[in-house]
Amino acid sequence: MADYRIGVVGCGGRMGQMLAREIAGTAGCALVGGTEVAGSPFVGRDLGEVAGLGPMRVKIGADAKALFADADAVLDFTRPKATVEHARLAAAAGKVLVIGTTGFEPDQEAAIVEAAKRAPIVWAPNMSLGVNLLIALVEQAAAKLGPDYDIEIFEIHHRHKVDAPSGTALALGEAAARGRKTKLADVAARGRDGITGARKLGAIGFASLRGGGEVGDHTVMFCGESERIELTHKATGRQIYTRGAVRAALWARGRPPGLYGMKDILGLD
């Protein structure tokens, strides 16, 4: 079988470069191209040199539509507005899209869901195997422990992260809410300051810290009257995300249109 042709949008950024290296180093995969926004200093440069792979004679472009035409799958860890447009391009071309972008507004999420009717799209706030196991455990714990245990979600990321809470923290909150058979939007407490009053029964709280070069730590605390249970994942390198993204792309090869997540890929259901 011919190599699976994979491209990267946002290939000049830190994650984009890591994704390019992961594709190039994965058996059965071929790194066929990458794009950056028009006007970026990376446009026109050799993709291999930018990614630290050595010359590839493949220039970074600014035309995402052309990349979708050439690739079998595209990996996207960019920004919500750009990702929505990439989802539409994936739908038009019928190509696999793997989304690791976070921070979407409801209308942007709806656009991705609509695009998945015409293309296989894997969308996960975190591509890590460990994080997705944590999400499954949180849902189970929330269901078993019930509302007598207060749920607090703590996360810390590097100083450059632009959204808070992190997409992973929100996914953990959604899992906890599912376990309690409620909606996160109805019970989330996403900011506390000043005289807040007593904690509301059933609330799911969030605390976000930003600083230094932290890759990402997430802890879900179940606080009872006389005990506290903590479920924690600590990321020590970003390779966990790139490996997961390439694995997701390979899994989606030949799949029918639809919106998939890491649960599907890992068989966590």
Phi then psi dihedrals of residue 182, to 5 deg? -140, 180
Answer yes or no: 233 catalytic: no
Q: How far apart are CA 88 and CA 125, in angstroms?
A: 19
CA–CA distance, 202 with 8 (Å, rounded to integer): 41
For strands 216-223 and 73-76, give the pairing.
unpaired
Exactly one of 161, 181, 200, 233 is catalytic; which is it? Answer: 161
Distance CA 116, CA 200 (A): 37
SS3 123: strand
Rounded Cα gap, residues 185 and 131, in angstroms:
22
Distance, CA of 207 to CA of 153 (rounded, Å):
6
User: Is there a catalytic annotation at residue 65?
Assistant: no
List 86, 95, 157, 218, catalytic entry: 157
* Angle, helices 239-252/129-145, rounded to nearest 10 degrees: 90
Active site residues: 157, 161
